[in-house]
A and B are shown apart, each in its own frame.
Chain A
Amino acid sequence: MFDGIQRRVVSVWFPRLASDRALRLRPIEGPFALTHSISNTNRIYCLNVAAERLGLSAGMPFSDARAFCPELQSRPADPLADRRFQHALRRWAVRYCPWVGLEDGDGLVLDITGTAHLFGGEAELLMDMRQRLSRAGITARIGLSDNRGAAWALAHHGEGSAPVGAALDVLHDLPVAALRLEEKTVTGLGRLGLRTIGELANAPRAPLSRRFGSSLLMRLDQALGQQPEQITPLKDPPHYGVRITLPDPIGIKSDVMEGTSRLLTQLCAKLKSRETGARILALTLRRVDQDSQQVELRLARPMRDATRILPLFERGIGDVDAGYGIDQMRLEAVQVEPMPVQQLSHVASGHKDQLDDLITRIGTRIGLENVQRFLPADSHIPERSYQIAAAAFSSPESTWSTIRPRPLHIFPPAPLLGTHAVPTPPKRFRWRRMSFATARTSGPERIAPEWWLEADEWRTGVRDYWCVETRQGRRLWLFFTPQSPGWYIQGEFA
């Protein structure tokens, strides 16, 4: 391929990634297993060495495992967290070389070409890696070879490193399963009597490819270095954090605002280049006495305009206790949202921006979720015919429709005193220490409870709603419950 420096690849396999992660969080002595549920059976997902020594294995039903080993401790598996942990390990591995990719769900692959000498040689590099991983409590098998396939084979089957250009010598005695083959192909090869990679390499190629397809020979060539295979390094997620360290501590509000403005300018340039907008910003002010204070700003809408964000920080910064002075400021966009560049239009959108800024400012005082708006909901039940949503996280909807008039005020139903339990609206009644005389009524409108939802106040069954105009002027919304007779009041019309 190329003559300059020989390519060298390290493959790391974490055979117990999930359980190692769980045990790092909360160490446990003795046998331990993670379980997950597959088609209604709790099965073992991953287990530690002690459990393996007792004869348990991954994939066996958890109840069987507990019967074998009553002291087995378990926790539910969390594959997503394992995935995140693998990504964290990938970031860690960048200390050895810049070219690190993920391998399946439980490994890493590093292209260490030209970086081994920085650690004093390949053996020292592997030693260092092993030491650090075992100190962190992570089991790892490491293979080193000229290419990815051979390194994988070494990592998964018999750990070791192959010298330059001698992949076949080392792989010769490894089983064919080390070639990353499917289960079916491995069985098929076994029936042919080809059990090791050496035997496979010596077998005639044409019948093999006719019988097993081209993928088998491709895997073999990849392992022996006759066919190249690339490593895809992952991109680091963009980091939206900037900081400033000051030679002398500051404490005046205007100084802190000035510092914030410089940080914001930098951060907003970063946000703009990635077409994102900040939703939550956190400003950390570190004081001289190592104490630090945080100012959080939650915006009503993603933004990346420094001149607009800066005044919104004013209130939060005003509350900060500077103590002996602030010597480091750090600004981070904790939550970002995509915010593509938009065409300016002749229809001014300045008013909308101003309103969003107002929501943000009110939100910093009373909490952003306390600024709310109504959204229509699909229900006949009066108190469920609308929803209340935080204004910052919803957009207005104008699909309000009312077939019958609804009251302006709705309150929890209160029983009407001094009425008879008859279906005709009462002539006189008392409510909130006021007595009313009925002048005119309209109704009834029957509303049935939503049986699919549990609601205590609808235990009394269907309701017949009446709009009652009283001689005193008020129009009230009364209902009668025929299934457990009684009159209640629930609203007042405008």
Chain B
Amino acid sequence: MTPDFAKSFPLRTARVHEVCGPSSASFAAVCAGVAQGTVLWIREHWRPEGVNPLGLSPFFDPAKLLIAQVKDQTEGLAVAEEALRDGSTPLVILEISQPMGLIQGRRLQLSAKAGKSTGLCLIPDGMGSNAAESRWHAAPIFDPFSAPGDSTLQRYELIKNKSGTLGSWHVRWDTASRCLRLVSATGE
């Protein structure tokens, strides 16, 4: 029996979570769509792949997004810590390019707790920190039965959870009502 998705998905507030996998940016966009208020997205300026605001618009209004272009990961962590501690942005998304140690992870966790805001680190596979509250793996799935206007079917797999069980779900973002729908796994 699959565990209850609603228990883990709107990510627990005042904690820092991690997501990896090919659809991690889409996972972050979904989280931003669910969150209320301004979202801060911290990325290193040398990365060629930028997010496209028009691609974000099915998830949320791009006007509520702030981008911080940082020089390296240290600077990114400092900005994330500052923003989490301040608490005026309910969701802080941080792109990680190097492995993160326990100290950095714990500091982020403490500042999220102080500011009561949620943090989400987009990590390359296997570069997470042990301090994360939960770690997700997001990957797109081909759905032979999808209708033309549907968004991509995603598989969200909870691969680490400090307060609950692990699980795996198939979900799809509903563009019209801007919410995440749970899809039962396709019967073979």
Contacts and interface: CB of A to CB of B under 8 A. Distances in A.
B79 A362 contact: yes
The listed residue with most A CB atoms (<10 A of its CB), out of B29, B37, B55, B64, is B55
B72 to A, nearest CB: 10
B142 interface: yes
B152 A370 contact: no
A370 B88 contact: no
Interface string A398-421: 101010011111111000000000
Contacts of A406: 52, 54-55, 57
Contacts of A391: 66
A494 B142 contact: no
A362 to B, nearest CB: 5
A74 interface: no
A400 B86 contact: no
A366 B61 contact: no
Contacts of A376: 53
B48 A402 contact: no
Given A355-B89, A359-B66, A397-B63, A365 B78 contact: yes
B64 A494 contact: no
A420 to B, nearest CB: 23
Q: How large is the interface on B (under 10, 10 to 19, 20 to 34, 35 or more residues)?
A: 35 or more
B148 A366 contact: no
B55 A494 contact: yes
Nearest to A405: B58
A354 B57 CA distance: 25
A406 to B, nearest CB: 4
Kindly name the residue among A396, A400, A471, A494 whose own CB sees the greatest number of chain B CB atoms within 10 A. A494
B38 interface: yes
Nearest to B79: A362
A431 to B, nearest CB: 12
B183 to A, nearest CB: 14
Nearest to B80: A362
A397 to B, nearest CB: 6
Interface stretch (A60-68, A186-194, A241-249, A472-480): A472-480
Contact of A408 (B29, B139, B144): B29
A282 to B, nearest CB: 23
Contacts of B144: 439
Interface in B70-106: 70-71, 75, 78-79, 82-83, 86-89
B45 interface: yes
B37 to A, nearest CB: 8
Interface stretch (B20-28, B123-131, B158-166): B20-28
B59 interface: yes
B69 interface: yes
B173 interface: yes
Contacts of B69: 366, 370-372
B18 to A, nearest CB: 19
A494 B58 contact: yes
Interface string A356-372: 01110110011000111
For A358, A365, A370, A474, which residue has the most chain B Cβ atoms within 10 angstroms?
A: A358
Given A351-B88, A408-B52, A365 B65 contact: no
A358 B52 contact: no
What 5 A-B pairs are tightest by C-beta distance, nearest first?
A473-B140, A396-B63, A408-B55, A494-B26, A374-B53
Given A386-B52, A409-B51, 16 more contacts: A354-B87, A354-B88, A362-B68, A365-B75, A365-B78, A373-B65, A391-B66, A405-B55, A408-B29, A411-B48, A411-B49, A411-B50, A473-B141, A473-B152, A493-B55, A494-B55
8 contacts: A355-B38, A355-B88, A365-B75, A365-B79, A370-B45, A373-B63, A396-B64, A408-B25
Interface of A: 351, 354-355, 357-359, 361-362, 365-366, 370-374, 376, 382, 385-386, 388, 391, 396-398, 400, 402, 405-412, 439, 442, 469-475, 491, 493-494
